[in-house]
Structure 1
Amino acid sequence: MIIRPSVAVLALCLPAATLAELRSLDESTLSSVSGQAGITVEFEGQLDIGNITYTDEGSLSVNEFKLGGAGRDDLFVEGYMAANGGNPFIQNISDKIDDLKIDIDVAADGEMSIRFYPLNYAAPVDFSVTTGAWDILNAEGERQFTLVDNFSLEGIFTQLWAKVGYDDELGQDRLNLELRIGIDDLDFEMPAFGIGIRDLRMTGPDYDTNPNLLSANAEIEANIYNGTRRDGGGALALDIVNMDADITVGGIDIGGQSIGSVKIDNMNLTNHSMRIYGH
């Protein structure tokens, strides 16, 4: 069963990034679990990880990773003051990702869809990601320098739709992602280079002229699949089908002194391709 909300509801359904292990599900499996051709999960939670380490010859170590709710009701304050009668978009203030609904369906053609969106269509899901230091270690595990520190990101998402199946245009299986997400505040430092980024914000391209819940979200669509690199070998392919956004940086610090701010207005990224592989 494919969920077909009304046009009004679709306009307010937007995505949420969550962590879950997905295993292959066919229509009969879903029917036996739920008694119908699809299942719905209501979710809330918080994720804390002490350390994540990627090791090649040396290592990149990310400390104190936390994913949860933003714990704020003033996200995108201009939007709710202008378009929501002064009532905050966020209705549940907590340190958890909550008010999240996940629909899983398998269509007759074998395509599986997984849709993350708010339980309340008129309110987004708020989130935060924070980390401690991102350290570069040598082969003996000794810290050589800190790449990133004091990383903090707070925002909303209103839609994450993932579709897994065969794509006629690509001619192969792919994971298609459609995401609507807004970043209200992103801060981090790169102490090895004396650089600090303050108050980075990402919205839809119309937010500055028409602030509201919909325009607060940048729209991103991407395909992920088994691709081919330039020399003919295999690679993980990531194609950005489309990205529409405004990006502002409230402050850029170099050597402890601010050098000003930056605004990127009406950015439209299309047909962007990356190939990722080992060497």
Structure 2
Amino acid sequence: MSFHTVFRYPSRLAGACLSATFLSLPALADFRPLDDASMAAVTGQAGVSIELETKLSIDRLTWTDEGSLSVNGLRLSGHNDTVLDNLKLTVDIAGEGEVLEHGFSEIARRANAGLLDTSNPDVADALAKYSVAGSFGKQFNSGDLVIHLGATDYGDPTSLDDYLKAVDFELAIDSITTSGTDGSTNLFSDINLQGYIGPTDLVIRNGGSSTRTLANGNIVSGSELQLDTHFEVTDGSLNWDAADVILLFNFAAVGIEGLQIHNRRGNDTLGHFGMAHATAKLSRGTGATSGKEGLSIHEVEFRADIDMPVFKVGGTSIGSVQFTDFVISDTTMMVYGH
């Protein structure tokens, strides 16, 4: 497993560190502690921004039980095996009612400044959804940890296309295999997905020791990890050798080329700017039926249109396949050992 990562910090912080390095000892002796009022005036004290460049590769990731499941030759990078860059993480611990960056709040900010045309339904929706108490984002509770993934440079502030294509990615996996005493079987192989990462948010809600009951009776912690992401796959290919996916599809000897995952058709495109959308919440939970404690994955939702222009069975194309308004919703899972 290998990593290549570069962290870049805001220039004002880097400059402050550099200046401090060259201060003489008499000058250092003049430093005085800041009181609360002085601290409140320090620029950049609220939250941390991290500009990130990275490239990830894992030769093999294996889960072993009686047999084993392996992900082989995994690589995450920019398009065409370049560095995954132009990423910016903002990390904040919210105060009570604080409005922080979330989702397409940058679009709302630009629309409010007159940089984007609000006759575009998606832009108008973002402006309505992310305008909160004179700020742009989402309101959080005291102690919530909020991590927002966006771009360092979005390009032309009047261009939606620049915004949506600011961060490109490529995910490649040689194979996913299962092995046992009788040998091994490929589930998937030669996976390669290229596309763009939209706004992505990770929120750890500070619910203390509180709990709540889901519609199915499962009891989950009020402190939970919330994931919300938009993305688009513009070109993908894979061999679907033999596998179940979400208990809906079980294919073998299937090859897919030119795969696209987006949200540009159908009845649920509003507010997604043509990108697929996924949300989920994760916390400690107790199953209503089994009584088992484990990891609760709940309020899962996925919305997309899926295009497979080349769909092969046994190496021969049988035509194209399209899904419009492909939606997974009302999904809850309780994961525990047995």
Give the TM-score taking structure 2 as reference length: 0.59
Q: Letter of the aligned partner of 1:236 in structure 2?
A: L
CA contact (8 A) 2:265 2:324 kept: no
For the structure 1 residues 66 and 241, does the alpha-carbon distance in structure 2 shift closer, same or farther, using more than 3 Å as the test?
A: closer
SS at match of 1:260: coil
Q: Flag the structure with more relative contact order, 1 or 2, with Cα contacts below 8 A and sequence separation at least 6.
A: 1
SS at match of 2:274: coil
Structure 2 counterpart of 1:77: none
Q: Which has the higher helix share?
A: 2
Determine if the alignment matches structure 1 residue 255 to structure 2 residue 314. Answer: yes
Deviation string, structure 1 residues 14-57 (Cα, Å, up to 9, x no partner) = xxxxx9xxxxxxxxxxx9xx961210000001011111111111
What is the aligned counterpart of 2:273 among 203, 210, 215? 215
Determine if the alignment matches structure 1 residue 180 to structure 2 residue 230. Answer: yes
Structure 2 counterpart of 1:246: 305
Q: Letter of the aligned partner of 2:47 in structure 1?
A: G
Looking at structure 2, the residues matched to 124 and 45 of structure 1 have their Cα atoms a distance apart, in angstroms, of 15
Pairwise CA distance, 1:138: 1.9
Determine if the alignment matches structure 1 residue 96 to structure 2 residue 96. Answer: no
Structure 2 counterpart of 1:149: 189
Structure 2 counterpart of 1:66: 75
Using the aligned pairs only, state the percent identity: 28
Pairwise CA distance, 1:169: 8.6
Looking at structure 2, the residues matched to 244 and 174 of structure 1 have their Cα atoms a distance apart, in angstroms, of 22
What is the root-mean-square deviation in Å for CA atoms of aligned residues? 2.9
Pairwise CA distance, 1:157: 0.9
- Please say which structure displays the higher CA radius of gyration: 2
Pairwise CA distance, 1:206: 4.1
Unpaired runs of 5+ residues, structure 1, are 1-18, 20-30, 72-93
Looking at structure 2, the residues matched to 242 and 64 of structure 1 have their Cα atoms a distance apart, in angstroms, of 29
CA contact (8 A) 1:205 1:267 kept: no
Deviates more, 1:245-254 or 1:38-47: 245-254
Deviation string, structure 1 residues 189-230 (Cα, Å, up to 9, x no partner) = 13453221222211124499x9xxx63311222111112233
Structure 2 counterpart of 1:43: 52
Determine if the alignment matches structure 1 residue 130 to structure 2 residue 172. Answer: yes
CA contact (8 A) 1:203 1:215 kept: no
Structure 2 counterpart of 1:75: none
Structure 1 counterpart of 2:295: 236
For the structure 1 residues 207 and 126, does the alpha-carbon distance in structure 2 shift closer, same or farther, using more than 3 Å as the test?
A: farther
CA contact (8 A) 2:58 2:73 kept: yes
Deviation string, structure 1 residues 50-85 (Cα, Å, up to 9, x no partner) = 1111111111122211110013xxxxxxxxxxxxxx
Deviation string, structure 1 residues 102-125 (Cα, Å, up to 9, x no partner) = 000001211000111111232431
Looking at structure 1, the residues matched to 206 and 324 of structure 2 have their Cα atoms a distance apart, in angstroms, of 35
Structure 1 counterpart of 2:147: 114
For the structure 1 residues 205 and 272, does the alpha-carbon distance in structure 2 shift closer, same or farther, using more than 3 Å as the test?
A: farther
CA contact (8 A) 2:195 2:235 kept: yes
How many residue pairs get aligned? The number is 222
Looking at structure 1, the residues matched to 319 and 299 of structure 2 have their Cα atoms a distance apart, in angstroms, of 30
